[in-house]
């Protein structure tokens, strides 16, 4: 039986709600991320620090003042409030300084960081959660689909992780702490040529499978900028299309390859 998803939202406990909601999203610096202490108190474990540098240069007759502002995320120990530059440093600190606080340690162990399409996320994930579920339901990347109900058979949940296409439904979210990921949303934002060539060559009908094909094709072009028809067929073999658009993917990928080779976008 496929794994269970979308449990009745009315049945969710306050603890579960806070766990899932206290998780967060950001730009270059992440927003707030919370964990729960044993007594149910929420503790913030991230904070955004803004640093402003002002440089004044003077030349005869002129004075120029320039201001640069940088934001960064600090990770804060929920017990002693000490600040760290990374989640790993915070976890190491907690293990050495607060080894008896098992409940908070368990909560901290569930926290992971991802970079998705250039955005940083700090998330609490459960051991059984898949990357597909977390990226879709907690980060909001709806391009990840689920055509085969999580059986690893269709490729519609494909996401690029550290340059390689992987099936999000077959990957446990916890195993990707610190990973860099790309989804179709990121490729559309960057105006990757595949987006236009997929439209131009009528590579979709209902479009449900399309994001999975596009990210797989993108990973292929990154690894092999000049793929043959056989290369394309081979790499896209794990992506299924119920509408039967298969022949159209070949020219779409080939044209995107040409555009990229000419240095175009």
Which residues bind to ligand FES, rule: CB under 6 A?
Answer: 146-148, 150, 152-157, 167, 169, 204-210, 241-243, 245
Is residue 93 a contact partner of residue 78, using CB atoms and an 8 Å limit?
Answer: no
- Cα separation, 44 vs 35, in Å, equals 7
Our separate counts of H helices and E strands in the chain read 9, 11
Residue placing its CB nearer to ligand FES in the complex, 154 or 214: 154
Q: Output 76 or 204, the one with its CB closest to ligand FES.
A: 204
The residue among 133, 132, 115 whose CA lies nearest residue 178 is 115
Cβ-based nearer residue to ligand FES, 33 or 209 = 209
- Within 98-183, residue ranges assigned H as helices are 102-109, 131-133
Residue with tokens 């000049």: 226
Minimum Å distance from CB 153 to ligand FES?
Answer: 5
Report the SS3 class of residue 58: strand
Tell me whether residue 12 or residue 240 sits nearer to ligand FES (CB atom).
Answer: 240
Nearer to ligand FES, 146 or 185 (CB): 146
What tokens were used for 60?
A: 């005869």
Q: Which is nearer to ligand FES, 80 or 243 (CB)?
A: 243
In whole angstroms, the minimum distance from the beta carbon of 171 to ligand FES comes to: 9
Q: Is 218 exposed, middle or buried (0-12, 13-18, 19+ CB in 10 A)?
A: buried
Q: CB of 169: closest distance to ligand FES in angstroms?
A: 3
Q: To the nearest whole angstrom, how small is the minimum distance from the Cβ of residue 142 to ligand FES? A: 14
Question: Shortest approach of ligand FES to residue 1 CB, angstroms?
Answer: 15
Whether the CB-CB separation of 112 and 125 falls below 8 Å is answered with: yes
CB 170 to ligand FES: min, Å = 6
Side-chain-side CA neighbours of residue 262 (13 Å): 8
Look-up: residue for tokens 């590579």?
203
């Amino acid at each position: 039986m496929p794994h269970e998803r979308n449990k009745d939202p009315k049945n969710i406990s306050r603890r579960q709600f806070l766990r899932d909601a206290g998780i967060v999203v950001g730009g270059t610096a992440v927003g707030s991320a919370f964990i729960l202490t044993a007594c149910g108190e929420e503790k913030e474990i991230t904070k955004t620090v803004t640093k402003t540098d002002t440089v004044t240069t003077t030349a005869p007759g002129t004075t120029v003042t320039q201001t640069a502002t940088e934001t960064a995320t600090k990770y804060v120990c929920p017990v002693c409030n000490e600040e760290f530059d990374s989640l790993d440093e915070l976890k190491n600190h907690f293990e050495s300084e607060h080894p008896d606080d098992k409940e908070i340690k368990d909560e901290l162990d569930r926290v992971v960081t991802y970079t998705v399409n250039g955005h940083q996320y700090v998330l609490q994930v459960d051991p059984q959660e898949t990357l597909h579920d977390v990226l879709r339901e907690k980060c909001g990347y709806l391009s990840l689909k689920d055509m085969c109900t999580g059986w690893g058979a269709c490729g519609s949940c494909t996401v690029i992780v550290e340059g390689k296409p992987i099936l999000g439904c077959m990957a446990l979210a916890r195993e990707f702490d610190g990973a860099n990921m790309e989804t179709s949303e990121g490729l559309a934002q960057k105006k990757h040529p595949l987006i236009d060539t997929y439209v131009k060559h009528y590579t979709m009908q209902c479009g449900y499978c399309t994001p999975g094909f596009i990210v797989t094709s993108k990973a292929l072009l990154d690894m092999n900028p000049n793929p043959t028809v056989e290369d394309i067929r081979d790499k896209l073999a794990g992506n299924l299309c119920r509408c039967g658009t298969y022949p159209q993917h070949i020219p779409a990928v080939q044209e995107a390859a040409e555009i990229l080779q000419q240095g175009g976008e």
